[in-house]
Amino acid sequence: MTSAKKHTRIEALDFVKGALVLIMVLYHWLNYFASPALDYRYLRFLTPSFLFITGFLISHIYLSKPVSSNGPAKRLLARAVKLLAVFVALNVAKAMISGGTSAPEGGQFSMRDVAAVFGVGPSDTDKVMSFYILIPISYVLMVAAALTAPFRAYRYTFHVVTALLLLIIAALSAYGFYSPNLDFVTLGLLGVVCGFTSLERIDGLASHYGWLAVAYAAYLIAIARWNVPFGLLIIGVGLTLLAIYVVAVIGDQSNRARQHVILLGQYSLFGYIAQIAILQGLSAASRGFTVAGLGIYVSFLAAFAMTMAAVELVAAAKTRSITVDRLYRAVVA
């Protein structure tokens, strides 16, 4: 495989991350500006996809070579702690800016809400605490860090742990127990397992466009009938990420829009934080009058454009200022 092909495939992974951030702009825009009664089952793949690709990159980057020291574990743990700190700081800042109010409808988060979000996962608490996805991502990093030591002795450690978690989820669901954090961590570890697969094999799988289209159509029919149980969610995440990867690989490599999406993927965490802040600002600015008709679409285009502009500005500032670059690496990278 030539270095050019390797570079293209690495960019393809950034394209996938960038595309997910853009889809999340749509998702959060619907939450802020559309009816909350909308059926979101066709976007249920979104948050789990971030967890899956996080796990994929862990094995693709940190575990692709024999692990001979605790270095990868320390780096993964440091990133996990950083994400938790960013989550807390963002929600505290949001509460302070809103005068102690954390939700548009006037709700406030309590210590019970905080415990639920960090423990089992959000139920109604996701309405009063923002940036929730950072918590399960940090948990995936922590679990991966903890498993690197046994992984050195047994190469199928992640496979075994993932299988056990799937069995636990199946057993708990039989008793009506549901934990978003457990589901997301399991999806992240599934991503780790899949990340051991070479990109050549993924390219081979992605080359079967016809079968991919048929499989995705069958998935859409299935969730239309049965909603999105965990088994179908896993299938949907895999098919969606593979479809986006196909677009990244076969598209015009010099296309300017593609390069923007790749850049967004390279700054995916900042892009995620920025688009939520932008949408919350647009939502606050629109209070007191009804956003309808053409204004609805203008708000979406504004959120889309402002998210991209924010990433472009940060990328440019990092190249021009060592201080900005160091601050970005310390807080967000």
When pLDDT is cut at 50, 70 and 90, the band that residue 223 belongs to is very high
Please determine, for residue 95, whether its predicted confidence score (pLDDT) is greater than 90. no
Mean pLDDT for 145-160 is 93
Q: Residue 238 above 90 pLDDT? A: yes
Q: Among the ranges 110-119, 183-192, 208-217, which has the highest mean pLDDT value?
A: 183-192
Is residue 92 classed exposed, middle or buried when 0-12, 13-18 and 19+ CB atoms within 10 A define those classes? Answer: exposed
Give the model confidence (pLDDT) of 59-80 as tens digits: 988 887 776 678 889 999 999 9
Which of 235, 206, 205 shows the shortest CA–CA distance to 221? 235
Q: Is 98 exposed, middle or buried (0-12, 13-18, 19+ CB in 10 A)?
A: middle
Task: Name the one residue in this structure whose structure tokens are 């619907």.
Answer: 30
Q: How far apart are CA 180 and CA 122, in angstroms?
A: 7
Task: Say what the pLDDT of residue 103 is.
Answer: 45
Indicate if the pLDDT at residue 136 is higher than 90.
Answer: yes
Confidence band of 329 (pLDDT split at 50, 70, 90): confident
Highest mean pLDDT (candidates 60-64, 110-114, 210-214, 252-256): 210-214
Handedness of CA 306, 309, 313, 319 (dihedral sign): positive
pLDDT of 46 reads 93
Q: Answer yes or no: is pLDDT of 4 > 50.
A: no
Q: Do residues 272 and 24 make contact, with C-beta atoms less than 8 angstroms apart?
A: yes
When mean pLDDT is compared across 61-65, 74-78, 90-94, 190-194, the lowest value belongs to 61-65
Q: How many residues make up the chain in this entry?
A: 333
Residue 53 burial (CB count, 10 A): 26
CA count, 13 A, side-chain hemisphere, 155: 4
Per DSSP, 154 falls in state: -
* Mean pLDDT on 47-52: 94
The single residue listed with the structure tokens 């991966």 is: 144
Average pLDDT over residues 39-47: 89
Q: Model confidence over 160-175: pLDDT tens digits?
A: 999 999 999 999 999 9
Distance CA 216, CA 145 (A): 34
**Which of the two residues, 258 and 190, has the higher pLDDT score?**
190
pLDDT, residue 1, reads 42
- pLDDT: is 107 or 142 the higher one? 142
Residue 331 predicted with pLDDT over 90: no
What is residue 307's DSSP assignment? H
Q: Return the closest-CA partner of residue 308 out of 245, 253, 247, 266.
A: 266
Q: 295-311 pLDDT, tens per residue?
A: 677 888 888 899 999 99
Cα separation, 231 vs 285, in Å, equals 40
Q: Find, among 325, 224, 275, 265, the residue nearest to 32 by Cα.
A: 275
Average pLDDT, the chain: 85
Spatial neighbors of 143 by CB under 8 A, at least 6 apart, are 161, 185, 188, 189
* Closest to 280 (Cα-Cα) out of 128, 79, 60, 157: 128
Percent of the chain clearing pLDDT 70 (strictly above): 86
Angstrom CA distances, 197 to 57, 159, 192, 245, 281, stand at 11, 13, 9, 15, 41
Look at residue 2 in the predicted model and tell me its pLDDT.
45
Model pLDDT, residue 106: 43
